[in-house]
Structure 1
Amino acid sequence: MLSRLILILCVFASLAQAKVEPDVKLEAKPEAKHSAQLKLMDAFLAQHHYQSQLLDDAQSKIVLAKYLEMLDYRKLLFTKKDVDYFSQYETTIDDFVHKGDLNFIFDIYMRHKQARIAQIDWVLRHLEKPMSEQRTDAINTDYDNMPWATDEAARQSRWEQHVQNEWILLRLASQDDEKARETLKKRYENIKKRLQRVDSDEIFQTFANAMTAVYDPHTSYFSPVSSEDFDINMSLSLEGIGAQLTMEEELVTITKLIPGGPAIKSGQIQSGDKILGVAQGKDGPMEDIVGWLTRDAVKLIRGKRGSTVRLRLQRAHSDEIDEITLIRDKINLEESAAKSEIKTIEREGKKYQLGVITIPSFYLDFEAVRRGDKAYRSTTEDVKVLIDALEKEKIDGLVIDLRYNGGGALEEAVNLTGLFFDKGPVVQVRRADGDLTVHEDEDNKTYYAGPLAVLINNQSASASEIFAGAIKDTDRGLVLGQPTFGKGSVQNIIDLERFIPTFKNQLGKLKMTIAMFYRINGSSTQLKGVKPDIYIPNAESLMPYGESEEAFALPWRTIQSVVHPDFLLVKPILPALQTRYDKKNQENPVLQNLIAIHAYEKQLMDQKSFSLDLAKRQSEKTTRQEKLLALQNNYRRIYGYPLLTEDDLDKKETDKSEAEKQADEDYQVDAILDIALETVSDYIELITEQPAESTVAGKKSASE
């Protein structure tokens, strides 16, 4: 099995000394270290990835398409003639990869670079004169289905429409014609400067990720510089805005909001938003960062705790440009830790005290564990403390809120599940070689034996899906919300330098899928996720999201189930509970407004054609703002809160008084949680009206 890998490792010493003779046209040249890395990655992926498949001719065609997409997603640069020329590599990329030959990668990149410089020079000339405000045409943004430009005239037409759209977005952000053109001039000049300092590591990383993408969405390569950024992003002690960033089409893009960070707490930023500019303090000049390297942009965004940073954002779904203000803070374990509250539901003279524990991630202080510190912080230990406090308040039921929880430590998912029954399996992990491990709760103790519910959405992933799946499979509690993300894979980080020590401090890391999670009923959490017992639409219900939307996602599979407890706490009463839910929410104004918001947001997201007439776009923007404001105020009417005005929405966080900030907290609406709590109250009523067929064994002892 390892023979091919061993053979490759044996020749790496000589490869380190070998000289690559690239095409003379190349300004950036492939290096011996890149050839060595490529062959090593090829061997690892073929033998140790969960799919265990060797790159072949069929995949070569996909790799080429992915590489071209990563270089030119908007199809502004390459023409059909270029793509036809590149097609010579369609069935040979696998052969090049096996040999570590990178010359074709740099050939394609150089054509991309030349086309980009030609576009920039054209745009800079175009921006010398005032732009037209009145147009009858529209820009098509359906890039996935757009054909390549047929000739130079068609390509320049796309350039003209693209820069017109960029200009309109700046005009809608209150810049006049001259200011908008100056912003764009500086932006394109910055991109041109960046192109002059693109190094071979960056080119290699782009292709390496085109290659790894055909294995699955979570297998990827990090260059040495990107590896450093990855390590920093994984730290919970980072001072900044609390967001993970990547580069997409020369735009710094937010890929993830870190629990407990200023970005997620502000409620003003979403995953997928693009950062166009950064300014320091309340009055500092806005620096346009389009075209910057990610690491250079991050230097501006990061800063000391308590300092102010302003961001110019291009919204993920609407392309509108907003400016927001954040106060940098230290993102630590405390900020992202589990938190609890008690909600009271009143009905027909009876009150239900419901404890709600919100868990942003499954965290574990690994360093404290390694030190042998018995007082280490972890999800499970923190939840124990919260349960103790809630039970002192005599709660009638407990809700574990896992919405937007993207996962974390597997050990914590297992341990947390074990708080709710005495013993039994929680999850199965199957490796690429077929080795199967069943992770179990073995402490013979139940920490909380009362009525339990789990609230999930389509951003609950990985460890969250393990917990929710185990609770559902054992029928220990009620699962509410919408199907989870569907990430059922396990990754490992491989430091390539360990295998090629000749290139010290010059190599990157490979993140590779090595195993899959399977529920105790034998079903993978991959693609399908965990389906709730009672479906409640959530903020993104009508929008495509989850593992199933990813290209090359691994398939859903099943294996043998394992013997597990079945507490029969939900299944016997689920039909009656569903009937109550349907009847209660058929005309529920909270739910109806929620559905209306989702439908309107999906309508905006599905729009693929945008007018290039300034007045028409301004009118469309005004209509959108009025519609969204009306929908938000519908909630406030239902709850009896003061209505918002356009001025309220436009006011920056740093300009708000303490009273206004407190009002924002007091008048927050969580419609999903409110609907869920009503359903949990119904659940408690139903399980107390009939004799239980099963009980939760091993209740917490008085000594614990």
Structure 2
Amino acid sequence: MFGNVLLIRINMKKTRSMLLKTSAFISLSLFAAFPVSATIPTAEIDAPFQAREFTQKQVTTSKQSLHQLLGRHYEKQRLNDDLSSKIYDLYIESMDGSRSYFLASDIEEFEQYRFKLDDSLINGNLNAPFVMYNRLQQRVTERLSFLLKQLPAKAKKYDFGKNEHLSLDRENSAWSKNTQELDNLWRKRLKNSILNLRLADKEDGAIYELLAKRYQNQLNRTHLANEEDGFQVFMNAVTHAFDPHTAYFSPRNTENFNINMSLSLQGIGAVLQTEDEHTKVVRLVPAGPADKEGQLQPADKITGVGQGEKEEIVDVIGWRLDEVVDLIRGAKGTTVRLEIIPSDASDLKTKIVSIVRDEVKLEEQSAQKEIIEIPQGDQLLKIGVIDIPTFYIDFQGRQEGKKDFKSTTRDVERLVNELKQENVEGIIIDLRNNGGGSLDEALNLTDLFIDRGPVVQVRYSNGYVQVLPEHKNQKAGIVYNGPIAVLTNRLSASASEIFAGAIQDYGRGIIVGGQTFGKGTVQSVLPLEHGQLKLTQAKFYRVSGDSTQHQGVIPDILFPSLFDKEKIGESALDEALAWDTIRPAGYQSKRDFQQWLPVLREKHQNRIETNPDFIYLHNQKALMTELRQRTDITLNEKQRKQEREDNENQRLAFENTRRKAKGMELLESLKTDEELKTEENKASDDKEAEEKEPDALLLETGNILTDLMQLSKIPNTGLQQAQHKAQ
């Protein structure tokens, strides 16, 4: 499963305001947990951080974890200087990836530990990692103290007419040589924060008060950091040296399993994680409150949380994940307001999103069908679409022996039969943003379209390869034998990749859309004396022998994508296991589409060159690529305002060009577009609402499928097969 995550389908409307910049490496907070409702002691400025010491339980746990990692992890590694050096680099990166706290002298001092961390783990001596952690906490207190001493008197003297720039990406920057260099960096950061708030129409007095409260709050939490926080940061550097999905969970995080491990969140239907000092949206639950509202998107960063429509928004920058979650959760029917930095914001501009809390119902996440009409000569061809947001099953209902328990396969079989009764010419399986789910359901769903045969291979750490499903568990016959297209994107993962890969390997259908996520590993959770270990122990392979890991499934016809592959997907993760191959399983390909692909691609290209939605998508992609390549941001207020205005005007021009070509009303501003989309999402809940704007990517998939039908003359024999299957 994709980190135990499912992701929402993105239609053409939503892509217009969406730029995902997710980093799947989950950063650990440097601040201690503390109940939101409790009073946190106020820390004094310049008060030194009290060093923490490791415990005997942590020594035992580190040895237990090391034993499991070396003995049971899929990727066999030896504990030596090379692994020690890798752990060292990951530890430094997890503590100070932006190179904003440590001095060059700190790093020079720490270098003595680079090739000794393996010995520390073997001997149970955690002194070195705790020396580094304690130093970090001291540097954090120094930086926060510096910021607090700047406010408000010194900050009032900042010159916003000066041509200064702040670096946006310091991953490869040189470490600061002295405190003066760090002071200058953090002065620029503070100046940028003030400028952002000014551009959000806040008064200087309110800005200074807000920032002083924010930094004091962070300083208070820094002084509350304990030995458990330090141990977890180090142990996750150790586990991530094996692969990014292997992780250590402390007892506190084990108790808070839903937030820290499965990343589930009740109340608004969103999955969150901590990234540096921000709380970032990882995904939205299909049909959840946030998904229905339509304004919150993956990779948005939450900076504040307010209750109801009028209560003051609480600044949550620097808060722990569990503390932010406590503020967002609430009773069903109540409203929470989130102040966010949108994922596509070029200058950290914030906006407010209001969401009514609710529970997500299983039936709302179920597979759904619709029919689209594709012009073909002088007639319209009916193409069925089945949208599958996740691979689900009612485990409790199945265990209780209920005959009507819900599952992806059962629902899709019913929908396929309904579509055939409506005389569709072909079917599109929409797996966009389907992050996976039940492996059994992926196998069973494939069985609806392929008559007996292996679907996936699982290779374990001991080298044993299991071919699934076992022949005895498969039914003879299939539900549908007509033309199929599978639509994917970068957020289609795990079980989705297993299904799409099988359809492609068997030649059963054509795959279109975006390259999938590439999550092809299997994890188990192992109990420890002090916490838990999530361990990668197996890997998925297609029947062709190709792994789904890292590479994912590459469509036969690619669509333009707004997803940044350098930020999203398995290949974007540090230490991700590599793509490789094993021996193919015994299977018989049904059809070879290669002979028709050149013609299909040419027809597709000819259409999208004049398609307003695809032109818009290409323009947006070009703009986002340009914004991603920016390495710094101006601190000149006049220039910043002009850049923001130019950026918004360019986006508005793209949108109005699209609207004009489609005969739609032009917009006066992007704010109008946001208001329209909010109204559209509200209307979507009204059964009497008018039909929404068609999904351009889905329509083009229908065009490709009809082209394929004309080229290959695939007979639609689904009805006969379905009757045999049902018996």
Deviation at 1:238, TM superposition (A): 5.6
Q: Map 1:665-684; keep pairs closer than 5 Å.
A: 666-668=691-693, 670-684=695-709
* Equivalent of 2:338 in 311, 327, 331: 311
Tell me the equivalent position of 1:358. 387
Q: In 1, are the aligned partners of 2:513 and 2:555 still within 8 Å (CA)?
A: yes
Equivalent position SS for 2:205 = helix
Provide the aligned C-alpha RMSD in A.
2.7
Is 1:511 the counterpart of 2:543 in the alignment? Answer: no
Q: Map 1:67-466; keep pairs closer than 5 Å.
A: 67-129=91-153, 130=156, 131-231=158-258, 239-316=266-343, 318=346, 319-440=348-469, 442-466=474-498
Q: In 2, are the aligned partners of 1:641 and 1:667 still within 8 Å (CA)?
A: no
Separation of aligned partners in 2, 1:233 and 1:64: 24
Separation of aligned partners in 2, 1:42 and 1:103: 17
Read off the aligned partner of 1:335 and give its amino acid letter.
Answer: E
Aligned-residue identity in percent: 36
Deviation at 1:601, TM superposition (A): 1.2
Q: In 2, are the aligned partners of 1:482 and 1:538 still within 8 Å (CA)?
A: yes
Q: 1:53 to 1:237 in 2, by over 3 A?
A: closer
Separation of aligned partners in 1, 2:684 and 2:342: 25
Deviation at 1:634, TM superposition (A): 2.9
Q: 1:26 to 1:47 in 2, by over 3 A?
A: farther
Q: 1:656 to 1:683 in 2, by over 3 A?
A: closer
* Greater Cα shift, 364-373 or 453-462: 364-373
Tell me the equivalent position of 1:606. 629
Q: In 1, are the aligned partners of 2:565 and 2:572 still within 8 Å (CA)?
A: no
CA deviation profile, 1:312-358 (whole Å, cap 9, x unmatched): 11234533322211111212322222111111112321211111111
* Equivalent of 1:478 in 494, 506, 510: 510
Q: In 2, are the aligned partners of 1:237 and 1:332 still within 8 Å (CA)?
A: no
Q: Map 1:526-537; keep pairs closer than 5 Å.
A: 526-537=549-560
Q: 1:342 to 1:543 in 2, by over 3 A?
A: farther
Separation of aligned partners in 2, 1:657 and 1:221: 40
* Greater Cα shift, 269-278 or 367-376: 367-376
Q: 1:464 to 1:224 in 2, by over 3 A?
A: same
5+ residue gaps in structure 1?
1-23, 501-506
Tell me the equivalent position of 2:6. none
Separation of aligned partners in 2, 1:44 and 1:183: 47
Is 1:31 the counterpart of 2:63 in the alignment? Answer: no
Q: 1:674 to 1:639 in 2, by over 3 A?
A: farther
Separation of aligned partners in 2, 1:541 and 1:352: 35
Deviation at 1:213, TM superposition (A): 1.1
Q: 1:102 to 1:116 in 2, by over 3 A?
A: same
Deviation at 1:147, TM superposition (A): 1.1
Tell me the equivalent position of 2:616. 593
Q: In 2, are the aligned partners of 1:257 and 1:264 still within 8 Å (CA)?
A: yes
* Equivalent of 2:712 in 666, 687, 691: 687
Q: In 2, are the aligned partners of 1:363 and 1:379 still within 8 Å (CA)?
A: yes
Tell me the equivalent position of 1:10. none
Q: 1:530 to 1:416 in 2, by over 3 A?
A: same
* Equivalent of 1:626 in 635, 639, 649: 649
Q: 1:455 to 1:665 in 2, by over 3 A?
A: farther
Separation of aligned partners in 1, 2:581 and 2:144: 52
Count of residue pairs the alignment pairs up:
670
Equivalent position SS for 1:422 = coil
Q: 1:655 to 1:448 in 2, by over 3 A?
A: closer
Q: In 2, are the aligned partners of 1:172 and 1:321 still within 8 Å (CA)?
A: no
Equivalent position SS for 1:282 = coil
5+ residue gaps in structure 2?
1-47
Q: In 2, are the aligned partners of 1:594 and 1:671 still within 8 Å (CA)?
A: no
Separation of aligned partners in 1, 2:689 and 2:554: 33
Tell me the equivalent position of 2:36. none
Deviation at 1:371, TM superposition (A): 2.7
* Equivalent of 1:555 in 578, 584, 598: 578
* Greater Cα shift, 275-284 or 133-142: 133-142
Separation of aligned partners in 2, 1:235 and 1:96: 31
Using the size of structure 1 for normalisation, the TM-score is: 0.90
Equivalent position SS for 2:562 = coil
* Greater Cα shift, 174-183 or 457-466: 174-183
Q: In 2, are the aligned partners of 1:251 and 1:274 still within 8 Å (CA)?
A: yes
